[in-house]
Amino acid sequence: MRTIIYLLIGIVFGITMFKSEAASWFRIYEMFKFEAFHMYGIIGVAVITGVIGTFLIKRFRVRSFYGEPIKFYPKEKKVKRYLFGGILFGLGWALAGACPGPMFTLVGAGFTPILVVIAAALAGTFIYGLLKDKLPH
């Protein structure tokens, strides 16, 4: 039953991404050229929603679907690591015209060339998994 719930949540998320144009290559292109506020507005609302959601989860000790307490752990303070990862992620986003969430939305909307980007993302993830222990911390 949980799988069906997760599937429905994913479908609603995909429809929301597509209808809000967050999966639009043109909107992403506009964002990176600083020509429109549209994507910054979507990202800003998502950040604010996440902050409020995290606050409420902590405040009311909300439990997961499995009934377990939700725990938050502090992040490592390795600025160079996050800076490099953010730049790499941003470059990939700009080149592909999609971040990981909208990639699957675009497949569902019938934009099959995005399968090349998904294959490259999976290959990159696999290679990272192989090299993770050899990379500087």
End-to-end CA distance of the chain: 40
pTM over 0.85: no
pLDDT in tens, 29-78: 898 899 999 999 999 999 999 999 999 999 999 998 888 999 999 888 88
Structure tokens at 119: 């294959």
The CA distances from residue 37 to 29, 69, 99, 109, in Å, are 12, 37, 18, 24
pLDDT at 137 over 70: no
- The closest alpha carbon to 28, from 119, 122, 117, belongs to 117
Residue 136 has pLDDT above 80, yes or no: no
| Domain spans of the chain, in order of start | 2-36+74-134
Instruction: Answer whether 36's CB lies under 8 Å from 99's CB.
Output: no
Residue from 23, 16, 17 nearest 97 by CA:
23
